[in-house]
Amino acid sequence: MFALFAVLPVLISSLLILAIRKNRAAKYIALAGSIISLAFAVIVFLTPSAQYSVDWFSASNLVFHITIVTYALNKILLLLVAAITPLIFTYSIGFMDVQREQSRFYTEIGIFAAAMMLFAISGNLITMFIAWEVLGITSYLLIGFWYNKQKPPLAARKSITTIIIGDIFFLMAIVVILSAYGTTNIASLISTAQNSHIQLPLDASLIFILVAVFTKSAQFPFHEWLSDAMEGPTPVSAFLHSSTMVKAGVFLVMVLLPLYAMANLEWILLVIGIASATVAIMNALSEHHIKKILAYSTIEDLSLMLIALGLNNLLAALLLFIVQTFYKALLFMGAGYVMKANDGEEDIFKVYNIKKNKMLFATVVIGVLSLAGVAPFGGFFAKASLDSSATDIYVYAALLAFDLLSSMYIFRWLIVPSGKSDKNMQYKAPRSMAIPMAILAAFTAISGISFFALGMNSAQPLNILDMVIESGLVISGFIISYLFYAKGLLPNVSLYSLKYRIMHNSFFLNIFYYKIAGFFEELGEQFDLFDHSVNRLFNMCGGTLVRSGNFIRKVENGNVNVYAVIFVFGIVALLAVFEIVAVL
């Protein structure tokens, strides 16, 4: 239970901010809580693995537990979240300069961080689901943080609508697993399933969980909410994409990977991962929005992690999982820096020349090189490990294509604002923004050394030929981007052209979303019309009976002659009925 001490400081500090409502003190309280949480997370990381359960409540013969585990995967995610949280908070001190919103911002993002830490150390599906739901609620609040603008509330509603689909399937999976196996403890479930002949409920529940994973980790066809989520503040984007919510789905597959291997469902991860990466890369190559390009790159990163898990290469998935945390937070912070310097401008073709700002350019270049997969940065070894594990020629070809195209779009992201404007960026970021970027750049730069040692000494050592091929493709991507954008060999694609709409396939996918939503809206209207028709029918029947009753009531007037006439009329009617029945 000591692992809970890593969650509590950041949670308590968030609730304290909410209680005192002091905007000036909010950032310092949040930062202090995050640093204490990081200290506890480091202690947990250095202590032996353990599991602890406490009874929560019982229903019939079922006992529900809160289970905390500190196995290797859990400790890695906990440490990543705990390490990024104070950096995000520090960056926010300089970035979030709207004083009246400080308390609300730090409360929401603090609870968001605490929920992800709880998710990291959860040992059963019930505890995970609770953290999963808190992540969804707080992400909705953070994406729609600027509620007085037009787009953020729409983006927040789109994200929560998509995520709720997965939440329902996750809950269905828990119900199926609980009914079939009588436990939601992950370790017990894996052990029970491996020794059980009850396969169908397991397969169904694992597929349900995949739907939840694809919605949470923004995989095709549920990925469009993530690009729209860029309407939230940049520190939220950096946090969301680097170590928190979008990683939750991938992490869930990691801990359940033995079950997916046993059920032979890894092919679904491969298919969806390749489809998602293809869609994301096409969008990133045509997108102009400085943060949306990075959002699509996150979709590709998550897709590569799922592909690695589909190839049963947990090491490659874990390397990508770790290194992506550093370079993605760094790149989003760099994007926020650029936007601040350009009065909120988000089009990469309209911002000032960023090469003149040496600190910004140097740190951003490190993030770009790691994402592209340039040696000796961590992204290179992670992608090389993934390429080496592909035994199918088509999967291998797809991974090589991704290496080339991802380097093209991320170098485009770097080159265009470095040479398309004749103005220089004069903005000097506060130290609270610059220091986290420098720290992340250092982590990104030195991670390659440890990843090289880990990759060469693993059960699946890196293939030298794959490393050479990857390097060649990355260099080719850089050269193509340089010729197209720095030298102007490729004309700028208009945002309204057919070519743009074909490449930026979100246009067609969102139309598909609207069609689906329109279908259900029309279906709902038809049900509403049927409901009104049924109501009118019952109202008509009821009205008829009321009018009949009112008429009959008038007969009850105390006149004996009237009663005698009615009696005779009734006798005659009965005789007529009996005669008709006898004839038939």
Q: Determine the average pLDDT of the residues in 410-429.
A: 74
pLDDT tens digit string along 508-562? Answer: 777 777 788 788 888 888 888 888 888 888 888 988 888 888 877 777 767 777 7
Residue 551 in any domain: the answer is: yes
| Listed residue (140, 133, 134) closest to 166, CA to CA | 133
pLDDT of residue 438: 93
Domain that holds residue 419: 319-493
User: Do 458 and 577 reside in the same domain of the chain?
Assistant: no
- Grouping H, G, I as helix, E, B as strand and the rest as coil, residue 357 is coil
Q: Which amino acid is at 200?
A: L
- Give the pLDDT confidence of 112-161 residue by residue, as tens digits: 999 999 999 999 999 999 999 999 999 999 999 988 888 999 999 999 99
Dihedral of alpha carbons 40, 45, 49, 53, sign: positive
Contact partners, residue 98, CB within 8 Å, separation at least 6: none
User: Domain for residue 295, yes or no?
Assistant: no
Q: Does residue 123 fall inside a structural domain?
A: no
- State whether 422 and 568 are in the same domain: no
Q: How many domains does the chain have?
A: 2
Q: Do 543 and 450 belong to one domain?
A: no
For residue range 173-231, what is the model confidence (pLDDT) as tens digits? 999 998 888 888 898 888 887 776 666 677 889 999 999 999 999 998 898 899 889 99
pLDDT for the residue numbered 192 = 83
pLDDT at site 418: 62
Q: Do 290 and 303 contact (CB within 8 A), yes or no?
A: no
Residue 439 lies in a domain: yes
Residue 423 predicted with pLDDT over 80: no
> Cα(409)–Cα(368) distance, rounded to whole angstroms?
10
User: What is the reported pLDDT for 460?
Assistant: 57
> Can you list the pairs that 132-139 forms with residues at least 24 positions away whose Cβ atoms lie under 8 Å?
132/167, 132/170, 132/212, 132/216, 132/248, 133/167, 135/244, 135/245, 135/248, 136/160, 136/163, 136/164, 136/167, 136/216, 136/245, 138/108, 138/109, 138/111, 138/112, 139/112, 139/163, 139/229, 139/240, 139/245
First to last CA, the chain: 84
| 369 domain-assigned | yes
For residue 284, tell me if it sits in a domain.
no
The answer on 466 and 364 residing in a single domain is: yes
Do 572 and 463 share a domain, yes or no? no
For residues 489 and 538, membership in a common domain is answered with no
Q: Both 382 and 472 in a single domain?
A: yes
Residue 482: the pLDDT is 86
Q: For residue 290, is it within any domain? A: no
**One-letter amino acid of 421:** S
C-alpha 437/C-alpha 162 separation (Å) is 32
Domain membership flag for residue 79? no
Joined together, the tokens standing for residue 31 give 């930062």
- Do 568 and 424 sit in the same domain of this protein? no
pLDDT for the residue 461:
63
The whole-chain average pLDDT of the chain stands at 86
> Residues of the chain with pLDDT > 90: what percent?
45
- Write out the E strands in 8-61: 51-59
Q: With contact defined as beta carbons under 8 Å apart, do 216 and 163 qualify?
A: yes
Cα dihedral 245→243→415→348 (10° resolution): 40
Residues 557 and 462 grouped into a single domain: no
Distance CA 358, CA 259 (A): 49
Together in a domain, 408 and 337 = yes
Sign of the CA dihedral 452, 454, 459, 460? negative
Q: Which of 493, 525, 558 is the last residue of a domain?
A: 493
Long-range own/partner contacts, residues 489-493 (CB < 8 A, 24 or more apart):
492/349, 493/286
Q: Taking the alpha carbons of 506, 511, 514, 520 in that order, is the dihedral positive or negative?
A: negative
Pair 477, 372: CB distance under 8 Å = yes
Least confident of 69-73, 261-265, 386-390, 462-466: 462-466
Same domain, 460 and 349: yes
- More confident position, 452 or 20: 20
Last residue of a domain, one of 431, 462, 493: 493
Domain boundary among 469, 493, 517: 493
Answer yes or no: is pLDDT of 457 > 60: no
Statement to judge: residues 440 and 578 lie in one domain: no
